[in-house]
């Protein structure tokens, strides 16, 4: 913003200074005088004018715009609009008899505060009696980012089901796009003129589905099709029908070489981006995921500490800013736990993962399993007592 509105007192001083410099008929202006009232009136008008000028400047310069003024700036500089509320997603730990089948079209899960989550996939429990299922919330908004270990109810439970919980907080739920992200997306929108780049495809698909975060190129598959990996801003996995619909509704932006004479897209293939789950899988299932031993200061709520650690780890692994091909450094995760308020001591000898993990350029990092124990190895229960041994049966 170039114009910065001044206070009325400062504007009065400037008015009086100019007035006295241009006449020798007046030597002093007292309070409650006619000239003082004139100076005040002119200063109020000047301040309102400066305010209106600043508003116009904010719409011309998005870096200084906020709220509705940023929305106006976006409409002036591009065809994009602010994204609405988004769903959240996470993985649930399932405990059931071996071979128990969870049909994604039949079952759903509910948190303790009533938020419903539906599966993205079918899952069959293995011989260990433990499995994980990826879910998304039915509703949208920040309210869907429920606390860890709060999704404990299942609707239409299959025969053999025992228990369910979310070890890790759902992520991605948001009420509406923030000014910061909208401003950043506006600056990238001009990349749509850079034909057939990752940014070009990202802008194209965002025009149809505002949950698209970015597109990653995976090269050419065995059929000669350009394979594009779709990354959603909340980590949700798009179904095959959603991918087909996305491709069909954006085909007018593709090269004629990618479209056949019937108008079908034949040269491009959309797939969901793969996930690199931290410390999973390994040869020993008991050591998968994030698992550590910690001593808490007295007076701190384990629920709050657990949630704070997960929020900080989520920010470290935020796939919106993840640099492809980077490593998940285990000592960074350890340092996050050490620096969390309420943590007195962390045993690095029992911290899992205990090695750096290279993340493929075709995947993004995410945490599926999260277990917090005391120094003796006992799982720290929350206040509601939902972390019973049934969730973590002994091998």
Tens place of pLDDT for every residue, the chain, 395 residues? 567 788 988 898 888 888 888 888 877 777 878 888 998 899 999 999 988 887 777 777 776 777 777 777 777 766 677 877 889 999 999 999 999 999 999 999 999 999 999 999 999 998 888 899 999 999 999 999 999 989 999 999 999 999 999 989 998 888 887 777 777 777 776 666 666 788 888 888 888 888 888 899 888 888 888 899 999 988 898 989 999 899 888 888 777 666 666 666 678 889 999 999 998 766 665 567 899 999 999 999 898 999 999 999 999 999 888 988 899 999 999 999 999 999 999 999 999 999 999 999 889 999 988 989 999 988 886 545 444 444 444 43
pTM of the predicted model, to two decimals?
0.72
Say if CB 393 and CB 95 are below 8 A apart: yes
Helix locations, the chain, DSSP H: 8-21, 34-60, 67-77, 179-188, 198-208, 240-248, 302-316, 330-338
For 244, the token pair is: 């087909």
- 3-class DSSP assignment, residue 306: helix
Tokens of 339: 């620096």
Residue 110, SS3 per DSSP? strand
Domain 194-272, what fold? GMP Synthetase; Chain A, domain 3 (3.30.300)
- Are the CB atoms for 175 and 313 separated by under 8 Å? no
Residue 125 token pair: 């429990």
- Partnered with residue 269 across adjacent β-strands are 227
d(CA 296, CA 377): 14
CB count in 10 Å sphere of residue 70: 21
């Amino acid at each position: 913003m170039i114009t910065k509105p001044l206070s009325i007192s400062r504007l009065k001083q400037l008015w009086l200074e100019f007035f006295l410099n241009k006449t020798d008929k007046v030597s002093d202006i007292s309070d409650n005088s006619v000239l003082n009232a004139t100076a005040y009136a002119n200063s109020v008008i000047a301040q309102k004018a400066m305010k209106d000028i600043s508003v116009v400047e904010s719409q011309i310069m998005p870096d200084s715009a906020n709220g509705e003024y940023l929305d106006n700036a976006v409409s002036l500089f591009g065809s994009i609009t602010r994204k609405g509320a988004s769903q959240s997603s996470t993985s649930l730990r399932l405990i059931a008899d071996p071979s128990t089948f969870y049909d994604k079209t039949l079952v759903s899960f509910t948190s303790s505060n009533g938020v419903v989550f539906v599966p993205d996939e079918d899952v069959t429990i293995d011989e260990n009696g433990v499995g994980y299922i990826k879910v998304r919330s039915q509703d949208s908004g920040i309210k869907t980012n429920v606390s860890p270990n709060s999704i404990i109810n299942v609707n239409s439970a299959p025969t053999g089901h025992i228990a369910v919980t979310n070890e890790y907080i759902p992520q991605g739920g948001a009420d509406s796009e923030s000014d910061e992200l909208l401003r950043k997306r506006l600056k990238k929108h001009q990349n749509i003129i850079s034909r057939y780049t990752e940014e070009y495809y990202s802008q194209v698909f965002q025009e149809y589905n505002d949950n698209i975060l970015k597109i990653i190129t995976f090269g050419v598959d065995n059929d000669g099709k350009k394979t594009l990996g779709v990354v959603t801003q909340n980590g949700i996995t798009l179904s095959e029908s959603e991918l087909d619909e996305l491709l069909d509704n954006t085909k007018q932006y593709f090269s004629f070489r990618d479209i056949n004479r019937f108008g079908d897209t034949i040269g491009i293939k959309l797939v969901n981006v793969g996930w690199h789950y931290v410390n999973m899988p390994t040869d020993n299932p008991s050591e998968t995921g994030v698992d550590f031993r910690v001593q808490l200061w007295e007076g701190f709520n384990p629920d709050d500490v657990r949630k704070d650690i997960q929020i900080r780890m989520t920010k470290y692994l935020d796939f919106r800013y993840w640099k492809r091909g980077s490593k998940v450094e285990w000592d960074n995760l350890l340092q996050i736990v050490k620096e969390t308020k309420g943590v007195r001591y962390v045993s690095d000898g029992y911290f899992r993962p205990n090695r750096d993990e290279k993340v493929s350029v075709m995947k993004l990092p995410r945490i599926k399993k999260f277990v917090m124990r005391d120094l003796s190895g006992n799982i720290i229960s929350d206040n509601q007592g939902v972390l019973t041994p049934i969730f973590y049966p002994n091998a």
